Structure 1
Amino acid sequence: MKEFISVYEENKADIEKFIITTLKNYGSIISMESSDYKKLFDNFPSLELVYVTDLDFKQLEANIFRKKKELSAKGKNRAYVNSKMIQKDERFSISAPYISSATGHTCITVMKQEGKKNIFLDFRLSALLGRLGLVELNPDFNAFTKFFYKSVGFSLMAFAFFAVLYALFGYAKGIFIDGSFSLDTLFKPIVSLTLGLAIFDLAKTILEREVFFKNYSKEDVDATILTKFSIAIIIALSIEALIVVFKITLHDYSQMIYALYLIIGIALIIVSLGIYSFLSKRSQMK
């Protein structure tokens, strides 16, 4: 889906011009209300939803889908949709891509003002790009990909919860059952909790970006994700290095060189992450 957003942004001007010009050629859209906007749905395969509001953005009628109506939507306040709109001329405004609460699909909304009414039209982004020949769609493969990402994402979340439970169980067992309070009892759960947090954050990102498509900002999200995940790993390794140093100090100083190797490795990761963050920010500024 990220690729769809990129394609849309690259061809945004042409897509918007096509939609606005076509809608202008139809004349009055309100006049199609009696037929549930059948002509629009027939000519725009990517059109998913039509609804009408007054100038205060209170919905005047049901949500009109291609094959059904949603009467419960009548009377809703649609001002939040208007806040996403970018005015293109005196009558037309178009939103950036977002998730439709009505369909759950990534769409763009076109608003046309006719008299004292605003007409909102939701176009499914993937279908729109496919119709214009900007992308090649394979519904079966897209469905499989979405299913795979969803399975992996929720599986990672499950492992993250197991890591947290393991940490809590290990700590409780060491204190209340074994009756011992050692460095392992204190620090091992912290390592597990840190890894659980890192895994959960990775799973959340996969689900948001590849399944639920929550965020379409132009920021370098990949760099942010990698940085957050790397920091969690660095924290876990640093705690492990601290445990190793304490153990060696208490038992065998001759093994201290291995602790040094681990600390040097962590330092190299930190330096590498710093260089990566610097280069990422510099590339964004260009």
Structure 2
Amino acid sequence: MNYLSVIERYNEYQDAIHELMASIVTGIFDEKLLEDECALSRAMTWLSKKYPFVELIFTLDANGVQTSQNIAPSFFSNNISSTGQGVERHQRPYYKLAQDSDSVVVTPPYLSTSSQHLCISAALRCTHDNGSTKGFLIIDITLAQAIEFLMGDRQRKKFHPLFISIYSFIVLGLFAVVGILLFSAGSSIYAMLQNPSAPDFHLQPFGIIIYLTLALAIFDLGKTTLEEEVLMHKDIFRHSSTRRTITRFISAILIAVSIESLLLMFKSVLVSPEYLTKAVAMMVAAVGLLVGLGIYVYLGSKAEAILKQSTLKFK
């Protein structure tokens, strides 16, 4: 997910994410974690198996100074600095929120200084019997992976590189066909220039334009596939992303059909009147395709607006 999608999803599922974070911290909290770094490592091992989006756990003293190392699961450890003990964290948002709270606090999203990922932190203050602060337990999670976990999208993400590879191969094939069509158009243009006195000279441009329009349509199809499925992030859970992809595909087909219908109409007027009916039918089909696309886009946007309103009502 890109950062914009992550923030949007966080705003939608903020309550669920905060409740999950609070349950994680409450479930593993023990005063021994503030004193025993081995116990902290064991807690992280358990968390990484149950909640693979947890990226960091550490402790602070009453003054906001880190008392443990940055403890991360093995699959995160290469991207996270293991240092941190003795670093002052009193300006960090989790410390400011937790120092006056007796329950688990969760920060808004921020960029982690340890992993450089967009994350959120949960913190819980531990107190002595007299109410004074003994220390703080801090847990960081990678926000994008937490959202994928909540939405049940982790299994699909494993196959995402395979999907990208297949789409890339298809795009290369489409571009190869475009190259063949452009070569054919260029060869036809060269042949026309070599023999301008040919009896069918006035008809040859129609064949060239057909090559070029087919190349344009196929290139636009390949370009759309490359942008939508390979280069850009596509949120499959959003109706707008699916609607955008379908709109772009249908638009490419619509342009090709419209150009071909015009060519067929010109050809029917010049030399082949029998093609006039087919040309009009193609033009009607293009208009119907355009009307259908407009209805689809309108109804899709209306449905998404209604869905957003209903989601806000349940919050």
TM-score range, shorter chain: 0.5 to 0.7
Secondary structure of the structure 2 residue equivalent to 1:109:
strand
Name the residue aligned to 1:70: 78
In the TM superposition, what are the counterparts of 1:30-41 in structure 2 within 5 Å? 31=34, 34-35=37-38, 37-41=41-45
Q: Does 1:259 align with 2:261?
A: no
TM-score under structure 2 length normalisation: 0.59
Partners of 2:174 and 2:219 within 8 A in 1: yes
Specify which of 189, 195, 206 is matched with residue 212 of structure 2: 189
Partners of 1:160 and 1:200 within 8 A in 2: no
Secondary structure of the structure 1 residue equivalent to 2:142:
strand
Name the residue aligned to 2:47: 43
Q: Does 1:269 align with 2:289?
A: yes
Unaligned stretches of 5+ residues in structure 1: 53-60, 76-81, 97-101
- 1:127-183 alpha-carbon deviations (Å, 9 max, x no partner): 844xxxx8598x6x985x546634541232122211331233223222345537723
The AA in structure 2 aligned to 1:66 is S
In the TM superposition, what are the counterparts of 1:144-163 in structure 2 within 5 Å? 146=160, 149-163=163-177
Name the residue aligned to 2:179: 165
Partners of 2:206 and 2:263 within 8 A in 1: yes
In the TM superposition, what are the counterparts of 1:1-286 in structure 2 within 5 Å? 13-24=15-26, 26=29, 31=34, 34-35=37-38, 37-45=41-49, 46-48=51-53, 49-50=55-56, 64-66=72-74, 69-70=77-78, 91-93=105-107, 95=109, 109-112=119-122, 120-122=140-142, 124-125=145-146, 128-129=149-150, 146=160, 149-176=163-190, 179=193, 182-207=205-230, 215=235, 218=238, 220-286=240-306
Change (3 A) 1:128 1:185: closer
TM-score under structure 1 length normalisation: 0.64
CA distance in 1, matches of 2:207, 2:32: 70
CA distance in 2, matches of 1:220, 1:136: 18
- Aligned identity (percent) is 15
- 1:188-217 alpha-carbon deviations (Å, 9 max, x no partner): 2133122222233135433468xxx55478
CA distance in 2, matches of 1:167, 1:24: 65
- 1:33-62 alpha-carbon deviations (Å, 9 max, x no partner): 95574412313422352288xxxxxxxx87
Moved more, 230-239 or 183-192: 183-192
The AA in structure 2 aligned to 1:172 is G
CA distance in 2, matches of 1:33, 1:172: 76
Secondary structure of the structure 2 residue equivalent to 1:110:
strand
Equivalent residues, number: 248
Pairwise CA RMSD: 4.8
